[in-house]
A and B are shown apart, each in its own frame.
Chain A
Amino acid sequence: MNSRPARTAARDSGAARSGGARATGGSGVNQPEPEPLALFDDLDAVAPPAPPAPPAPRRSEGRARRPASQSDEPGLSPESAISVAALTLATRDIIEGAVEPLWIRGEVVGLKEHRKGHWYFTLKDASAQIRCVMWATDARRALAAPDEGMTITALGKLTVFAARGELQLRILRIEASGDGLWRKAFEKIHQKLEAEGLFAPERKRLLPMLPTCIAVVTSTDGAALHDVVSVVHRRCPITRVVVAHATVQGDGAAGSIVTALHRVARWGKADVVILGRGGGSREDLWAFNDERVVRATAGMPIPVIAAIGHEVDVTLCDLAADLRAATPSAAAEAAAPRLTDLVRHVRTLGADLRDAALARVGTARERLTAAGVSVARAASHPVERRRLALEGIAGRLHALSPLATLARGYAVLTDGEGAPVTSVASLDPGDAFVARLRDGRIHGRAERTERLGEEVNE
């Protein structure tokens, strides 16, 4: 933007124009001349090429020739008449110096976007209007250009557009009034990414049954991390939790989240990622609607669970993720299975396997019998192979049963009634017991019992 260097130059060359100096500078009493260069600032609003600097007002020459008097003050006599530029500049300085940036609410009319990204429009209400300019650098930070007729709340610095002699508001920020701008920005990105298929249901992946490692992209200072960690630890303590820190709100949040997601992807050891933060205002959560963040979410090589706030509308990251959870805790519950459930499931499968194998053996035996074949007589026959297979399978079933443990030299004790003896308290001295071993039983009686670390009971 041309206006920036011009203004800086003016500030550097002039005698340190503080706010106060500006306010009085316009009155032209004992202050240095307003810098003509500063005029470029306004001219730029219409046409980027800056015109040559207007000649400096002659005031100072006159003052140098004659002693100062009331009638010599600029503009107080026909001789000391001032230029239009000097007047508008002085007016601008007075206005700029006297009025701090203000929040103004009004309806947007006639918005034009300059090819360089500046916005020109008028803010009006029932009885008044004011011309506005939003420079590209400021406009870029706005969510979206306001629509015709949209009511906005804007922070603006009052100034004078010298080239037209108009009062002008330089808009620094636009807040979305009645959430029109938010929705507009949201819908713009939503439409674009939806057209690319980023939110398509067929893109959604299933979560792993038992994640080895859950990555969490969030702030290491936030409550979200704590919630995730405690839920995962409670449900599935063998699952590793690795956090990739990201700033989740404010300036730079979007870039930070994208970096953290990429880090997780590049690391490659996590098998699911939770992207989240606790609740927040729409403004707090806006980074999760940023196109870069949404794209990074959709592009993750592992399933993503989004857990972003829960008080406001859905974010685009929620839509791009494989699963949306209301809170970080809910995301952790979705990601981490209950370990006890898995253990039970595997045990059940083991039992099913055993039953199915036994049934198989049973069937094979029936077939052999039905065929009326004597196994001993058919040693050279394929049937013999079946017999060997039967023995083999029996051996493997054996490995699953407590009998295998006995074979290794252990014994199982039962009391006189056949109930298992698992504690010294189960027997009193003199009680009968049965020890079951690999090849038979031993019947005996307890002589005395000793609990570990306790006195002998006789």
Chain B
Amino acid sequence: MSFEKKVQRLEEIVRALESKDMSLEKGLKLFEEGIACLRDASTELSKAEAAVQVLRERTDGILEATDLRA
């Protein structure tokens, strides 16, 4: 699931929990899911810095990204 999807799901969950008419069991499940989304999204935001690369086509037709200054 993309970062965007996780955030969207999290927003849905919060909205659902905020609405009053929901069983506690269902709320609990949603909360669990929300915590998982939150953790995944945070992990994604703390990834390492990425390098600039060039997309090259090898003679055998395979595409590969290599560092620009290499």
Using a CB–CB distance below 8 Å, which chain A residues touch chain B? Answer: 208-210, 213, 215, 220, 229, 237-245, 263-264, 266-267, 269, 339, 342-343, 345-346, 349-350, 352-353, 356-357, 359-360, 363-364, 385-386, 389-390, 392-393, 396, 399-400
Contacts and interface: CB of A to CB of B under 8 A. Distances in A.
Interface of B: 2-4, 7, 10-11, 13-14, 17-18, 20, 22, 24-25, 27-28, 31-32, 34-35, 38, 41-42, 44-45, 47-55, 57, 63, 65, 68
A274 to B, nearest CB: 13
B24 A390 contact: yes
Main secondary structure of the interface of B (DSSP, over half): helix
A238 B47 contact: yes
B50 to A, nearest CB: 4
B44 A210 contact: yes
Nearest to B5: A209
B63 A350 contact: no
B70 to A, nearest CB: 13
Contacts of B53: 240-243
B68 A243 contact: yes
B1 to A, nearest CB: 12
B34 A353 contact: yes
A229 B52 contact: yes
B62 to A, nearest CB: 10
B56 to A, nearest CB: 8
Contacts of B14: 349, 352-353, 356
Nearest to A353: B34
Contacts, number: 114
Given A240-B50, A263-B63, A339-B45, A353 B35 contact: yes
B7 A345 contact: yes
Given A210-B4, A238-B45, A360-B17, A349 B55 contact: no
A242 B65 CA distance: 7
Given A242-B53, A349-B10, A353-B31, A343 B45 contact: yes
Contacts of B65: 242, 267, 269
B54 A346 contact: no
Main secondary structure of the interface of A (DSSP, over half): helix
B38 A346 contact: yes
Contacts of B27: 357, 360, 393
B65 to A, nearest CB: 5
A399 B35 contact: yes
A208 B1 CA distance: 13
Contacts of A393: 24, 27-28, 31
Contacts of A267: 55, 63, 65
Contacts of A220: 54, 68
Contacts of B3: 209-210, 342
Given A238-B45, A244-B55, A349-B7, A266 B31 contact: no
A380 to B, nearest CB: 17
B29 to A, nearest CB: 10
Contacts of A350: 38, 42
B52 to A, nearest CB: 5
A396 B45 contact: no
Contacts of A364: 24
A229 B69 CA distance: 13
A243 B54 contact: yes
Contacts of B31: 353, 357, 360, 393, 396
B50 A237 contact: yes
19 contacts: A209-B4, A210-B2, A241-B53, A242-B52, A242-B65, A244-B55, A245-B54, A342-B3, A342-B45, A345-B7, A349-B7, A353-B31, A353-B34, A356-B14, A357-B27, A357-B34, A360-B17, A360-B24, A389-B28
Tell which of B18, B22, B32, B45 has the most Cβ of chain A within 10 Å.
B45
Contacts of A213: 50
Nearest to A267: B63
Tell which of B10, B28, B34, B49 has the most Cβ of chain A within 10 Å.
B28
B22 A389 contact: no
B44 to A, nearest CB: 7
Contacts of A241: 50, 52-53
Given A267-B55, A357-B34, A396-B32, 12 more contacts: A210-B44, A241-B50, A343-B45, A345-B7, A346-B10, A350-B38, A359-B17, A360-B22, A385-B25, A389-B24, A389-B28, A396-B35
A342 B27 CA distance: 26
Given A353-B31, A360-B17, A242 B41 contact: no
A353 B44 contact: no
A451 to B, nearest CB: 29
A349 B24 contact: no
